[in-house]
Structure 1
Amino acid sequence: MITFQEKYKDNLILLKSFDFAKKIVLYSEALEENKKFVIANQLLKSGTSIGANIKEAQNSESKADFIHKMKIAMKEAEETEFWLFLCNELENYPNTESLLLEVFEILKITNKIISSSKKN
């Protein structure tokens, strides 16, 4: 059976967003174990939606559709960043520094893809 990493080995943003989604699932599960259900649910939804929207953009019907889907992914990344910053500010929440660094990188790459797509 082929893995996601094998199938999309040439697509950096897909790989990064997929890897990030896996880490968000694990972080959310850790929050749920500590009865932090509301934040866990919000973070799980936004953090996994980034990659899902990037994946969906790969099969867009037009350049405008591609840009629109990538913008949605970027909005989800911005929301995820908010929840991660919030978790870092709250007592008894696991540290999110490494996840924040990853979402910053995803935002940077996504922004570059959107701006490059608009120019072409």
Structure 2
Amino acid sequence: MGNDKVYNLEERTFLFARECRLLVRDLKKTISNIEDGKQLVKSSGSVGANYIEGNEKLGDKDLKFRLKISRKEAKESEYWLKLLRDLNEKHIERIEVLIEEANQLKKILSAIINKLK
């Protein structure tokens, strides 16, 4: 994900989901990694999917609802990443970058939601 921040949020959420999938692919195939990885794949993909759906809004209420789901999925992704980090010493730095990105996505989504109020 490098130091170059992507300011297009659709692209940024796509890159986040892609990097999470690449991480899961590279983890040792333990029961916990497989199960936590499945959850991470689902939640990380939902961040962007719900953001995109919100952009095709049916109204402000729908947009706000989709953005809140997207933020919730970013929080959930952070949770799974923390579990994976604590059980995969070999990938700590890589996972820390993804945890920080999940946190940044939460903040961005919260700012957008707060502007809609």
Task: Please give the TM-score of this superposition, normalised by the length of structure 2.
Answer: 0.84
- Given the alignment of the two structures, is residue 34 of structure 1 paired with residue 34 of structure 2, yes or no? no
- Given the alignment of the two structures, is residue 94 of structure 1 paired with residue 95 of structure 2, yes or no? no
1:76 alignment partner in structure 2: 73
1:7 alignment partner in structure 2: none
Alignment of 1:1-12 (within 5 A): 12=8
Structure 1: tracts of 5 or more residues without a match = 1-10
Q: Are the aligned partners of 1:49 and 1:76 in contact in 2 as well (CA < 8 Å)?
A: yes
Structure 2: tracts of 5 or more residues without a match = 1-6
Amino acid at match of 2:20: I
Q: Are the aligned partners of 1:13 and 1:110 in contact in 2 as well (CA < 8 Å)?
A: no
Amino acid at match of 2:113: I
Which aligned runs of 4 or more in structure 1 are off by greater than 2 angstroms?
33-36, 91-94
Q: Are the aligned partners of 1:47 and 1:77 in contact in 2 as well (CA < 8 Å)?
A: yes
Figure out how many residues of one structure are paired with residues of the other and give that number. Answer: 107
1:62 to 59, 62, 78: 59
1:51 alignment partner in structure 2: 48
1:22 to 9, 15, 18: 18
Task: Please give the TM-score of this superposition, normalised by the length of structure 1.
Answer: 0.82
Question: Identity over aligned residues, as a percent?
Answer: 32
Report the CA distance between 1:46 and its aligned residue. 0.5
Give the whole-Å Cα distance in 2 for the aligned partners of 1:69 and 1:26. Answer: 26
Q: CA RMSD in A?
A: 1.5
